[in-house]
Amino acid sequence: MTEEGQEAPDFELASDSGDSVRLSQLRGRPVVVYFYPKDDTTGCTTQACGIRDLYGDFEERGAVVLGISPDSEGSHVKFKDKYGLPFTLLADPDHEVAEAYGVWAEKNFAGKKYWGVVRSTFVIDEEGRVGKVIRRVKPDTHAELVLEALSA
């Protein structure tokens, strides 16, 4: 499980634009890596649109925002286009990155158990260290919490 103060696990994933994004190539800028369960669902849409609505504040802080879910690149394109999301979405269909960050876990919904992403955010500093971990994120307050962490 990735914790504050640790070096962020590096990864390379396919993006909604068809390019691949490698975390270590973003050194020198703060990076917000947020994991969410599924494109175009109520909570995930609230979370993504919260970032979208405050995206200028993220840019002012020089931050790169990366949303990661197990959905495909094609699903990400539709989600991004539908809601006008100005940041990059990355596909982690084999949930390898989610596992490396400790956010792939057994969940329980309506008495049924399944495996999925636990909504979590990692604020990574310019040197590639995890400065803040926000676990079990509440979608409607997520963007503000991340901006506070970027300001600290």
Domain ranges of the chain: 12-151
Topology given in CATH for the domain delimited by 12-151: Glutaredoxin (3.40.30)
User: Alpha-carbon distance 150 to 39, whole Å?
Assistant: 25
Nearest alpha-carbon partner for 35 in 100, 122, 93? 122
Q: Which residues belong to the active site? A: 44
54-80 tens-digit pLDDT: 999 999 999 999 999 999 999 999 999
Taking the model in full, what pTM does it have? 0.95
90-119 tens-digit pLDDT: 999 999 999 999 999 988 888 888 889 999
